[in-house]
A and B are shown apart, each in its own frame.
Chain A
Amino acid sequence: MKRSSLAIAAVAALLTVPASAAERATVAEERFDLHAIFERAPGVLMVDERGTTTAPGSVEVVIARIGPGGKLIKACVDSEEAAQRFFNAPIESLHGKQATER
Chain B
Amino acid sequence: MTGMRRSLLLLTLVLASLPLFAGTGRILILNVDAPGVGFNDPTPATPVGGNDGVTLGQQRLNVFERAAYRWQNVLDTNVDVRIRSTFVPLTCDDNGVVLGSAQTLSWDANFPNAPLANTWYPAALANKLAGVDRLPSQEDMLLRFNSALDTSACLGDRSWYYGFDGNEGDDDALYSVVLHEIGHGLGFAGRSTIDFVQGRPSIFDTHTFDLTAGLRWDQMTPPQREISSTNTRNLVWDGANVTRAAATLLQATTLLSVSAPASIAKDYEIGTASFGPPANRGGLTGRAVPAQDAANTAGPSNTDGCTAFTNAAEVSGNIAVIDRGTCTFVEKALNAQTAGATGVIVVDNRKDTCMPPSLGGNDDLVTIPAISITQDDGALLKGQFAAAEVRASLRLDPSRLAGASQQGFVRLYAPCTFNAGSSVYHFDTTSSPNLLMEPFINADLLDTTDLTTYLLMDIGWTQPARTGRRGLRR
In the bound complex, residues from chain B placing their C-beta under 8 Å from that of A54 are 106-108, 120, 191, 197-198
Q: A34-B91, A75-B439 are in contact. Are A98 and B360 (CB under 8 A)?
A: yes
Q: Are A65 and B95 in contact (CB under 8 A)?
A: yes
Q: Are B324 and A102 in contact (CB under 8 A)?
A: yes
Tell me the bound Cα distance from A52 to B251 in angstroms.
42
Could you count the A-B residue pairs with CB atoms below 8 Å apart for me: how many are there?
Answer: 234
Residue B172 lies at the interface, judged by CB distance under 8 Å to chain A: yes
A-facing residues in B64-116 (Cβ within 8 Å): 84, 86, 88-91, 95-112, 114
Q: B99's contact among A45, A55, A64, by CB below 8 Å, is which?
A: A64
**Which residue of chain B has its CB nearest to the CB of A72?**
B172
Looking at B88, B103, B438, which has the most chain A CB atoms within 10 Å of its CB?
B103
Residue B442 lies at the interface, judged by CB distance under 8 Å to chain A: yes
Q: Are A50 and B192 in contact (CB under 8 A)?
A: no
Please report the total number of A residues contacting B with Cβ < 8 Å: 67
Q: Are A63 and B439 in contact (CB under 8 A)?
A: no
B-facing residues in A50-77 (Cβ within 8 Å): 50-66, 70-77
Q: B193's contact among A16, A40, A73, A78, by CB below 8 Å, is which?
A: A78
In the bound complex, residues from chain B placing their C-beta under 8 Å from that of A101 are 328, 360
In the assembled complex, how far is the CB of residue A102 from the closest CB belonging to chain B, in whole angstroms?
A: 5
In the bound complex, residues from chain A placing their C-beta under 8 Å from that of B327 are 102
Q: A27-B34, A87-B95, A97-B358 are in contact. Are A62 and B134 (CB under 8 A)?
A: no
Residue A18 lies at the interface, judged by CB distance under 8 Å to chain B: no
Q: B422's contact among A24, A32, A77, A102, by CB below 8 Å, is which?
A: A77
Q: Are B112 and A50 in contact (CB under 8 A)?
A: yes
Q: B142's contact among A17, A26, A74, by CB below 8 Å, is which?
A: A17
A-facing residues in B405-457 (Cβ within 8 Å): 419-423, 425-426, 429, 434, 438-442
Q: A27-B34, A32-B90, A98-B359 are in contact. Are A58 and B189 (CB under 8 A)?
A: yes
Can you list, as one digit per residue, whether each of B22-64 has a CB less than 8 Å from chain A (1) or not (0)? 0000000001111101100000000000000000000000000
Q: Are B108 and A29 in contact (CB under 8 A)?
A: no
Q: A26-B34, A51-B110, A76-B423 are in contact. Are A87 and B189 (CB under 8 A)?
A: no
In the bound complex, residues from chain A placing their C-beta under 8 Å from that of B219 are none
In the assembled complex, how far is the CB of residue A39 from the closest CB belonging to chain B, in whole angstroms?
A: 10
In the bound complex, residues from chain A placing their C-beta under 8 Å from that of B359 are 98-99
Q: Are B144 and A20 in contact (CB under 8 A)?
A: yes
**Which residue of chain B has its CB nearest to the CB of A100?**
B360
In the bound complex, residues from chain B placing their C-beta under 8 Å from that of A16 are 138
Tell me the bound Cα distance from A53 to B112 in angstroms.
13
In the bound complex, residues from chain A placing their C-beta under 8 Å from that of B111 are 50-52
In the bound complex, residues from chain A placing their C-beta under 8 Å from that of B419 are 81
Q: Are A64 and B189 in contact (CB under 8 A)?
A: no
Q: A9-B137, A51-B134, A60-B103 are in contact. Are A37 and B91 (CB under 8 A)?
A: yes
In the bound complex, residues from chain B placing their C-beta under 8 Å from that of A82 are 420-423
In the assembled complex, how far is the CB of residue B473 from the closest CB belonging to chain A, in whole angstroms?
A: 22
In the bound complex, residues from chain A placing their C-beta under 8 Å from that of B137 are 8-9, 12
Residue B170 lies at the interface, judged by CB distance under 8 Å to chain A: yes
Q: A29-B88, A52-B108, A56-B104 are in contact. Are A62 and B135 (CB under 8 A)?
A: no
Residue B155 lies at the interface, judged by CB distance under 8 Å to chain A: yes
Residue B274 lies at the interface, judged by CB distance under 8 Å to chain A: yes
Q: Would you give 29 A-B contacts (Cβ < 8 Å), ordered by A? A: A8-B135, A8-B137, A15-B138, A16-B138, A23-B32, A23-B144, A25-B31, A26-B34, A29-B34, A30-B89, A32-B89, A51-B111, A51-B130, A52-B108, A54-B107, A54-B191, A57-B103, A57-B120, A58-B191, A58-B423, A62-B101, A64-B96, A66-B155, A79-B420, A80-B421, A82-B421, A95-B357, A101-B360, A102-B327
- List 11 additional A-B contacts (Cβ < 8 Å) besides A37-B90, A54-B191, A78-B425: A31-B89, A51-B134, A60-B181, A60-B189, A61-B98, A62-B180, A74-B440, A77-B421, A78-B422, A98-B360, A99-B271
> Which 7 residue pairs spanning A and B have beta carbons closest together?
A79-B421, A82-B421, A51-B111, A100-B360, A99-B357, A65-B96, A12-B137
